[in-house]
């Protein structure tokens, strides 16, 4: 038997109502904030992610699904995240000269070759937003507010916002030196991955989950202690903005995010009670990304929210019972003529916007009624030869058992 590839999932019809419910709220909230939906290709030139995400990141070095294009021989990768693709799209489609800010959202599949576990799969679904063209901390606060609004609409409790600032190209070098000096003292105790990061990307040392590395990181210099005057002022303004909006937060110096394009403010929403993969939303500012991809200097701020982790948190809190919409009517038919009539009635009601089903497998009347109960039909209509001749039949309310006579050619639900 051919089975699905490890790290992927089948989402069956009994599960899709929850996904659609969550996606609907995400779309509604994004559009309230003035974001428009963008759709980009599932695969891109590998160079986009090497330059955009960063060649020293785990995503590029270990996790991307990369292959050679059959016709042209170029390297192509399935997208591991959405931001780089959106940045490429606004450059290629000439949007960088439009009125600012540019605001986009998307719901996409992303692909990373990671060890599958609860809340982490190799194909995963992500709601993301990107805003370009504003360096004002009000844009950071707006992005965070949108993420908070989605979480609030979903009814999730015990989700805490953690914020930090990792500085800009002006203040980052001094912090980098302080960080390297700190970790060099403990180099023998670092994991092999962190020993490599020490030379190539020391900021990622703060994000290691290895217990020994994590303990060393807790003693490391804090990013907020090495900010330049501009970054410090912007971070203070962000905190004041969140305070004014009534959005609670914790300043957390361990929040650095895993991709190279982040600068300035970064943030995560962390859910309690769903295990190790507790970050349900992460984002931050990426002011140099568009320029690094060949576009003009254009600031950016965005976030990604994993649907699977959101669902884990909802299940933990008993918020996942979202039933599919039941049929308005089930038409039970006895005989060939009645089956044709049932198809006619069902088609008429479907065109009127109703969910309607009828027998198409030749069940007995008893089996048809059992099926109507199973699918939760609100009403049933039983028709046979006598009902067709009379042009009338009994419509049964499946909730209270009451019946009423209806004209077969004209009744509506």
At residue 258, the pLDDT reads: 67
* Rg of the chain, C-alpha, whole Å: 27
- pTM of the full structure: 0.90
pLDDT for position 355: 97
Q: What is the pLDDT of residue 400?
A: 92
Q: What is the pLDDT of residues 317-376, one digit of tens each?
A: 999 999 889 999 999 999 999 999 999 999 999 999 999 999 999 999 999 999 999 999
How many residues does this entry show for the chain?
413
The whole-number pLDDT of residue 140 equals 98
How much is the mean pLDDT over the chain?
Answer: 93
Share of the chain above pLDDT 70, in %: 99
> What digits encode the pLDDT tens for the residues 238-282?
999 999 999 999 999 888 876 778 889 999 999 987 776 789 999
pLDDT in tens, 56-97: 777 888 899 999 998 888 999 999 999 999 999 999 999 999
Q: Which CATH class is domain 329-407?
A: alpha beta
What is the pLDDT at residue 72?
Answer: 81
116-159 confidence digits (pLDDT tens): 887 789 999 999 999 999 999 999 999 999 999 999 999 999 99
Kindly state which CATH superfamily the domain 16-171+227-316 is placed in.
Answer: Bira Bifunctional Protein; Domain 2 (3.30.930.10)
pLDDT digits (tens, 9 = 90+) for 165-197: 999 988 888 888 888 899 999 888 889 888 888
Q: Report domain extents, the chain.
A: 16-171+227-316, 329-407
Q: Which of 248-262, 277-291, 302-316 is predicted least confidently?
A: 248-262
pLDDT at residue 413, rounded to an integer = 84
Q: Report the share of the chain in percent with pLDDT over 90.
A: 75
Contact 305, 204 (CB under 8 A): no
Give yes or no for residue 199 having a pLDDT over 90: no
């Amino acid at each position: 038997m051919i089975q699905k590839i490890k790290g992927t999932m089948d989402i069956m019809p009994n599960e899709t109502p929850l996904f659609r419910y969550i996606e609907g709220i995400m779309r509604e909230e994004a559009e309230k904030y003035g974001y428009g939906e963008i759709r980009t290709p599932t695969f891109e030139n590998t160079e986009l992610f090497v330059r955009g995400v960063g060649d020293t990141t785990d995503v590029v070095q270990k996790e991307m699904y990369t292959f050679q294009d059959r016709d042209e021989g170029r390297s192509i990768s399935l997208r591991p995240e959405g931001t780089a693709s959106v940045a490429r799209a606004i450059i290629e489609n000439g949007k960088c000269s439009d009125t600012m800010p540019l605001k986009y959202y998307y719901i996409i599949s992303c692909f990373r070759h990671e060890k599958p576990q609860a809340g982490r799969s190799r194909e995963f679904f992500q709601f993301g937003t990107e805003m370009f063209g504003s360096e004002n901390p009000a844009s950071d606060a707006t992005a965070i507010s949108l993420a908070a609004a989605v979480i609030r609409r979903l009814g999730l409790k015990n989700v805490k916002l953690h914020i930090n600032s990792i500085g800009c190209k002006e203040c980052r070098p001094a912090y980098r030196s302080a960080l390297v000096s700190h970790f060099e003292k403990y180099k023998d105790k670092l994991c092999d991955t962190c020993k490599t990061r020490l030379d190539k990307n020391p900021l990622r040392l703060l994000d290691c989950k290895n217990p020994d590395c994590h303990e060393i990181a807790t003693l490391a210099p804090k990013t907020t202690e090495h900010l330049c005057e501009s970054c410090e002022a912007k971070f203070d303004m962000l905190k004041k903005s969140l305070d004014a909006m009534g959005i609670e937060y914790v300043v957390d110096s361990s929040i650095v995010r895993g991709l190279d394009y982040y600068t300035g403010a970064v943030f995560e929403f962390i859910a309690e009670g769903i295990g190790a993969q507790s970050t349900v939303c992460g984002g931050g500012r990426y002011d140099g990304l568009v320029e690094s991809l060949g576009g003009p200097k254009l600031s950016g701020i965005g976030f990604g929210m994993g649907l699977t982790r959101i669902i884990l948190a909802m299940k933990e809190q008993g918020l996942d019972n979202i039933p599919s919409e039941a049929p308005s009517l089930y038409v039970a038919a006895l005989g060939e003529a009645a089956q044709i009539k049932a198809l006619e009635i069902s088609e008429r009601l479907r065109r009127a916007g109703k969910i309607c089903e009828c027998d198409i497998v030749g069940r007995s009347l008893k089996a048809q009624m059992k099926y109507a109960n199973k699918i939760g039909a609100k009403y049933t209509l039983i028709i046979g030869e006598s009902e067709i001749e009379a042009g009338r039949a009994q419509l049964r309310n499946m909730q209270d058992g009451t019946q009423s006579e209806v004209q077969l050619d004209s009744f509506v639900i």
